[in-house]
Amino acid sequence: MSELPPPQTPGLVHAALVHDSAPLHVAGTALYVDDVPEPRGLLHLAFGQSREAHARIVSMDLAEVKAAPGVVAVFTAADIPGENNVAPVAHDDRLLAEDLVEFVGQPLFLVAASSVKAARKAARLGKIVYEPLPALTTIAQAREAGARIEPDQVMRRGDVDQALAEAPFRLQGRFELGGQEHFYLEGHVAMAVPGEDRTLHVLSSTQHPSEMQHLLAHLLKLRNADVTIEVRRMGGAFGGKETQAVLFAAAAALVAMKTGKPAKFRADRDDDMVLTGKRHDFATGFDVGFDQEGRILGLRYDLASRCGMSTDLSKAINDRAMFHADNCYYLPAVEIVSHRFKTHTVSNTAFRGFGGPQGMIAAERVMDTIAAHLNLDPLAVRQANFYGPGRDVTPYQMIVEDFVADRLVEELRITSRYDERRAAIAAFNRTHPYLRRGIALTPVKFGISFTTSFLNQAGALIHLYTDGSIHLNHGGTEMGQGLMIKVAQIVADVFGVPLSAVRIVATRTDKVPNTSATAASSGTDLNGMAAFEAAQILRGRLAELMAFEAGCEPEEVLFADGRVVAGDLDITFAELCSKAHMARVSLSATGFYATPKIHYDRASHTGRPFLYFSYGAAVSEVVIDTLTGESRTLRADLLADVGCSINPAIDLGQVEGGFIQGMGWLTTEELVYDAKGKLLTHAPSTYKIPTASDRPPILNVSLWQPGKNREPTIHRSKAVGEPPFMLAISVWSALTQAVAAAVGKPGAVPTLDAPATPERILAAIAAGKAAAS
């Protein structure tokens, strides 16, 4: 692929501009789905939900539901005209249960009422007779029963048995990692408005409008063209609205088509948390052989995840865990066995990092284990294992061509004074009666592209109007990550106009069709490039006209400062648009982009699934109380390689926000299910995401200045959405160090599980002491 023209307008691309919606956010005038004025006769919806984790439905008596005040209609699976499916890949998620329920909270029937309250109250009145079946609710139970959503996947390179057998040192370890609730502040919501002649318009808070369109059409026996999905913005998503939004939109669409009335489903927070999938929890084992310097010779992983009751995106998520179990480290001989266990719990789904964090953290635990055993600085062990010349092949046979983690780590080691602080912490730990500190510097290497190759495509649609205003549309959705402003910066730059000339509008399936989810950190890479192409096409047309009038070559036409200059001609951009209209030149164009170079063979788990890697590094310092188990992150220094940033302010926001979210996953955020598979932490009263005071008092966040994508991405930028999440592994690793200091036995291997709640920290200290004695 050839080099793109560089940005031409100062203060647009690479500038730290504020989020386009920020003035609306602060004024309360930014419209989310539930804020849009409600149409006449709107019905409000709620699900009747299963109380059993696994059962046959013997009977459903809904007479009381139907008779409840305000209830207009009640629907069951039998009312669905088309396919009763809201699942993206495997067609195994029902909108409404048929004869089987497979998790506590699964929707059984759908109530449409005149108010939200009436719908929710009535939904509790169903009389359901169940025939309970044995329920598998944990990884351990599913492993024992052999319940899987697909056969185990194995990725291997080299002879790991031999490498392990011959290694001078060999250790095994196991740890457990909790899941994570997305806790987007805006819960799931969708409003469906029936149009004329069996058409449907749906406002939804979704990352994946096209998939929603196709699923709704199928469910209602409509054609894709009959259904339009519109998304202006989401109040946070983080992967939780990639597939999960369909459930609510499908319910609203069903009611709208059945009753002819508009219908809105706004889930209560507790219901949202029960009804929708979360980050996969993992049980991870490893067997590692290494040498005196801590260099890995052979490594075998056993990665087990809880997928929940259906397939959802679990195959790709667990694949991504395998892709990241090397992190930044060369593994001469490796075998990664991945079990995707089926349980009778809500189907787990995409969440920022998409399995990557669960894979990467395993590599970091291996590093900490080796370092503990050899009594080395864990950073030295990490550096000894980095990819490098002659050590550049991943477990899936992709060559790492763009490795810079070593440079980031060295820079951060110096700027954060890692060595000095590590020594000072050791001294502190020798003297304090019960507080212990830990510090850790961990790197991140995150593969960029959807690993399902065909998804790496995007479209854009740009209209120019005769007043010079620009209507920008593309397939990407805005969830707060600043995609819209970045793409607008790219487009305004092409035309040499101020950003205010660009009207950012809702994402709609009738503008740009057949799009991929805004996911995998790919939003700007894909949509920015598609919009760039559309803008270039239009600019080409305008330049040709201008050149003709000025008697010069199109290449000589300059677009800058809202003006267009060629030869003696110097007119405003608006005048040129108007001129083009008079000259019957089309002022509308589409752009398209497909990521080059990538390919992947899932049968052998080999190929080049990623166009490039995003890198980062972080140092975190923590303190723990060995009596109460409480912990706190006191300082963190983050360094992220985002290439040549399109918008450094937006990117810094992603880095900091991602880190804090990752820290929450590994510390305070604990999902607790009871023995029967019921989620007990289904509200912010019991599920604790970080608050302002959990942010480390010292937090230094930087973008790596030399960063430049070696691949010709849009203006040489790199993806930023997910990679910073994994910078938080440094917090967990630092906690591991603090626990080791509390155990106080050199050579004791780490035992800390995640999330590192006070209880787990005390348990890890106790386990460490027991193992060492």
Partner 1 sequence: MSDQIRFLLDGQWETVGGIDPTTTVLDWLRQTKGRTGSKEGCAEGDCGACTVLVGSAEQGKLVWRAVNSCILFLPMLHGKALRTVESLGGEHPVQRAMVEHHGSQCGFCTPGIVMSLYGRSLGAAGTEGAKIEDVLAGNLCRCTGYGPILDAAKAVPVQADDDAALLAELQKQPHGGLRFSGWFSPATADELAGLLLEHPDARIVAGATDVGLWVTKQHRALPKIIYIGGIADLSAIEETEDGLTLGASVRYGDAHGALGRLHPDLGELVRRIGAVQVRNAGTIAGNIANGSPIGDMPPALIALGASITLRRGGERRVLALEDFFIDYGKQDRRPGEFVESVRIPRPRPDQIVRIVKLSKRFDSDISAVCGAVCLTLAKGRITAARIAFGGMAGIPKRAPAAEAALVGSFWGESSCEDAARALAEDFSPLTDVRGSAEYRLIAAGNILRRLWFEANGLGGTVLSAEAIDV
Residues marked as catalytic: 722
Which three-class secondary structure state does DSSP give residue 345? coil
Q: Give the nearer residue to partner 1 in terms of CB position, either 268 or 510.
A: 268
Contacts of 31 (CB under 8 A, 6+ apart): 232, 233
> For residue 704, what are the CA distances in angstroms to 616, 617, 695, 716?
8, 10, 22, 14
Distance CA 351, CA 362 (A): 18
Q: How far is the CB of 43 from partner 1 (least distance, A)?
A: 15
- Work out whether the CA dihedral 356, 365, 686, 93 comes out positive or negative: positive
Distance CA 189, CA 761 (A): 38
| Residue linked to tokens 């950003």 | 499
Q: How far is the CB of 629 from partner 1 (least distance, A)?
A: 7
Contacts of 430 (CB under 8 A, 6+ apart): none
> For residue 633, what are the CA distances in angstroms to 83, 120, 175, 360?
49, 41, 22, 21
Q: Give the nearer residue to partner 1 in terms of CB position, either 254 or 655.
A: 655
Q: Give the nearer residue to partner 1 in terms of CB position, either 128 or 234.
A: 234
CA angle in degrees (0–180, nearest 5) for 246-233-644: 115
Q: Give the nearer residue to partner 1 in terms of CB position, either 35 or 92.
A: 35
153: left (phi over 0), alpha (psi -120 to 50) or beta: beta
What residue type is assigned to position 157 of the chain? R
Contacts of 607 (CB under 8 A, 6+ apart): 396, 397, 398, 598, 599, 600, 601
Contacts of 199 (CB under 8 A, 6+ apart): 222, 226, 227, 228
Q: How far is the CB of 357 from partner 1 (least distance, A)?
A: 16
**CA nearest neighbour of 667 among 615, 740, 734:** 734
Retrieve residue 272's tokens: 């949202």
Q: How far is the CB of 270 from partner 1 (least distance, A)?
A: 6
| Residue linked to tokens 């057949």 | 514
**CA nearest neighbour of 446 among 257, 641, 274:** 641
> Are 633 and 662 contacting, i.e. CB atoms less than 8 angstroms apart?
no
Q: How far is the CB of 257 from partner 1 (least distance, A)?
A: 25
First to last CA, the chain: 61
| Residue linked to tokens 């095994």 | 172
> Are 487 and 476 contacting, i.e. CB atoms less than 8 angstroms apart?
yes
CB burial class (10 A; 0-12, 13-18, 19+) of residue 692?
Answer: exposed
Q: How far is the CB of 192 from partner 1 (least distance, A)?
A: 19
Q: How far is the CB of 277 from partner 1 (least distance, A)?
A: 17
Distance CA 227, CA 213 (A): 6
Distance CA 233, CA 32 (A): 6
> Are 656 and 496 contacting, i.e. CB atoms less than 8 angstroms apart?
no
Q: How far is the CB of 485 from partner 1 (least distance, A)?
A: 11
Q: What is the layout of strands, in order, in the sheet containing 227-231?
A: 71-75, 107-113, 43-49, 263-266, 189-194, 200-204, 227-231, 507-508
What residue type is assigned to position 672 of the chain? V
Q: How far is the CB of 766 from partner 1 (least distance, A)?
A: 8
Retrieve residue 136's tokens: 């598998």
Q: Give the nearer residue to partner 1 in terms of CB position, either 309 or 652.
A: 652
Q: Give the nearer residue to partner 1 in terms of CB position, either 413 or 541.
A: 413
Q: How far is the CB of 21 from partner 1 (least distance, A)?
A: 6
Q: How far is the CB of 715 from partner 1 (least distance, A)?
A: 20
Q: Give the nearer residue to partner 1 in terms of CB position, either 334 or 689.
A: 689
Q: How far is the CB of 626 from partner 1 (least distance, A)?
A: 9
> Are 494 and 532 contacting, i.e. CB atoms less than 8 angstroms apart?
yes
Q: How far is the CB of 50 from partner 1 (least distance, A)?
A: 19
Distance CA 487, CA 516 (A): 16
Distance CA 607, CA 355 (A): 19
Longest CA pairwise span in the chain (Å)? 89
Retrieve residue 627's tokens: 């009596």
Contacts of 484 (CB under 8 A, 6+ apart): 20, 21, 476, 478, 504
Q: Give the nearer residue to partner 1 in terms of CB position, either 9 or 481.
A: 481
> Are 31 and 92 contacting, i.e. CB atoms less than 8 angstroms apart?
no
Q: Give the nearer residue to partner 1 in terms of CB position, either 359 or 629.
A: 629
